[in-house]
Amino acid sequence: MRDNVESRVIIPVQNPRKILALAVSVWLCATAPSFGADPAAADSPRGMVVSPEAHASRVGAEVLAEGGTAADAAVAVAFALAVTNPQAGGIGGGGFLLYRDEHGNHTALDFRETAPEGLTPDRFVDESGKPVPGLSLETGLAVGVPGVVAGLAEIHERWGVLPWKRLIEPAIGLARDGFPVYPDLVRAYGSAEKRLRLDERATAIFLPGAGVPLRGRILEQPQLAATLERIARRGRAGFYEGPVAQALVATVQARGGVMELTDLGAYEVVEREPVRGTYRGYRVVSFPPPSSGGIILLQMLAMLERFEMPEGYGASDTIHLMAEIQRRAFADRSKWLGDPDHVDVPVERLLDSAYVASRASTIDRSRATPSSEILPGAPAAEGSDTAHFSVADRSGRAASLTTTLNTSFGSGIVAAGTGIVLNNEMDDFSLAPGVPNVYGLVGGEANAVRPRKRPLSSMTPTIVEYAETGKRPFLVLGSPGGPRIINAVFQVLVNVIDHGMELQEAVNAPRVHHQWIPDLISYEERALPADVRRALRAMGHSLATYERIGNVNAIGADENGHWLGAADPRKGGAATGQP
């Protein structure tokens, strides 16, 4: 997967995948959306960090250079992103880690936000049972019990070798001394300005003065620096006990929430069994419920494997097949998936080969099946804004970690005196039957609000490996973007494995998205040429443009065993190799 211009000019006739890759490269040059300057792909035989922000990537690479593991680097990057990517990567949210150790063993750590003990479904609806607008997005009721600090402490305890304080020091410096506001942060300010201005502390930090701050302004966060210093000294207790915990609870309650100190004290990180599958000879390992991402990804890959891939990356036949697969998998998501600690999630049955074959058999290759005709399947009985980064080290360890606040800047609420931006993750629950959340997703009873329950997620941290067990995995990747996460990861995998793209090409390539309801194909501007759009509409598809679908930050291994890093140009991330 190494970028090599010469290898694209001298193409062996006997290698049709190389011919296809060249055709795709030419097509991409003509049709790729404009996201600004593409980040440079990185190459290192030792270690690699790919994150949505350059300071954080550099912090992780420095940790690797000091002898830290992929876990150490992941902790350091996550804390740095809490400062430099405040719209998505804060310690006031939750996340998932998929980790591969030096022996090739995989662990899934769930530090997703939980509903407070006092939160019940009736809190979000009016007398007629309809959700009250804004309660699950902009008030204290929207805030779930954060899990990021507990998760990072657990990661360090299990796999870290460098001191905890050393891993947080770079984030403290970035918060205290500041960093220049970059283009994607300016965009995030604009999209969340209304919500941020509802909170005076958020306004003072992120929107001082009139209007949205310009690119290049230095963002200093001294209160967050003090909070991080406390966490560096006291570990998990620095967040879940004492002044920080008290300020968090007081702020949530002042904005109408029901969170108590006991909710913070009772928070637990949960180890879960990863979901596993295969695709065209590769092993695919991904995250289990309460994420829907891993199951839906494996379902889609299993359905696609039953078809011969149409020729042409951007051809109408290819897009049609992908959309039909996506709509069936997302229909299953709406009924069957939720927090496995509270509902029975039929993981094995949803991934059963006979069940997947039955779902694939309903696809008509010449016409779209309206979503109104696609119901969640019946597997046989037993017998928002988000940040993703990937890390790999010289011993073959790998971390695929996604954190979230849900929408950009979460609830827009900053806990008094702490600098912590709080999530609005309760909107990821199904607040009423048939009522979509902020991302248009519809859910059922499996994802209803319950005390201490974790809302269903679309985060999809994933590791792909060669059929033969090797020292290094083939791909480490994930994405932010609500339900679009799953389809972004799906398409990058297909781009590499089926279309023979180089890793950076696969990440850069324009994307499409279908999630069952609403019944339409969303596509990035210029992703679908006019003739392809006409053909898809003739098949019965509805189409709508969408600015950006996901933000995949990926690591791969080339034929020489070097790590390759590909940051997504959609948000201006950075791939930094260990020197």
- The percentage of the chain sitting over the pLDDT mark of 90, rounded to a whole number, equals 73
> What confidence score (pLDDT) does residue 442 get?
64
CA dist 460 and 380 (Å) reads 25
31 is catalytic: no
Question: For residue 389, which of 24, 9, 85 has the smallest C-alpha distance?
Answer: 85
CA dist 121 and 118 (Å) reads 10
Is residue 275 over pLDDT 60? yes
Any idea how long the chain is? 579
pLDDT band at 324 (very low <50, low <70, confident <90, very high): very high
- CB of 79 within 8 A of CB of 228? yes
Is residue 37 over pLDDT 80? no
Express each pLDDT in 442-455 by its tens digit.
667 788 889 999 99
CA dist 555 and 575 (Å) reads 9
Domain boundaries, the chain: 21-32+272-385+458-569, 44-88+109-271+386-447
pLDDT band at 30 (very low <50, low <70, confident <90, very high): very low
Is residue 530 over pLDDT 70? yes
Express each pLDDT in 45-97 by its tens digit.
999 999 999 999 999 999 999 999 999 999 999 999 999 999 998 999 999 99
Is residue 161 over pLDDT 90? yes
pLDDT band at 12 (very low <50, low <70, confident <90, very high): very low
Is residue 33 over pLDDT 50? no
Helix, strand, or coil (residue 404): strand
CATH architecture of structural domain 21-32+272-385+458-569? Orthogonal Bundle (1.10)
- CB of 155 within 8 A of CB of 75? yes
> What confidence score (pLDDT) does residue 409 get?
95
Q: How much is the average pLDDT of 154-163?
A: 98
> What confidence score (pLDDT) does residue 1 get?
41
pLDDT band at 16 (very low <50, low <70, confident <90, very high): very low
> What confidence score (pLDDT) does residue 10 get?
23
Averaged confidence pLDDT in the chain: 89
- CB of 465 within 8 A of CB of 473? yes
| Residues in CB range of 180: below 8 A, 6 or more apart | 215, 216, 217, 218, 219
Question: For residue 95, which of 171, 41, 152 has the smallest C-alpha distance?
Answer: 152
Helix, strand, or coil (residue 113): coil
SS (H, E, C) 143-199: CCECCHHHHHHHHHHHHCCCCHHHHHHHHHHHHHHCEECCHHHHHHHHHHHHHHCCC
pLDDT band at 381 (very low <50, low <70, confident <90, very high): very low
> What confidence score (pLDDT) does residue 443 get?
66
Is residue 127 over pLDDT 90? no
Is residue 25 over pLDDT 70? no
SS (H, E, C) 281-345: CEEEEECCCCECHHHHHHHHHHHHCCCCCCCCCCCHHHHHHHHHHHHHHHHHHHHHCCCCCCCCC
> What confidence score (pLDDT) does residue 56 get?
97
> Looking at 69, 227, 251, 386, which residue is catalytic?
386
Residues 240-277: b if buried by 16+ CB within 10 A, e if exposed: beeebbbbbbebbeebebbbbeebbeebebbebebbeb
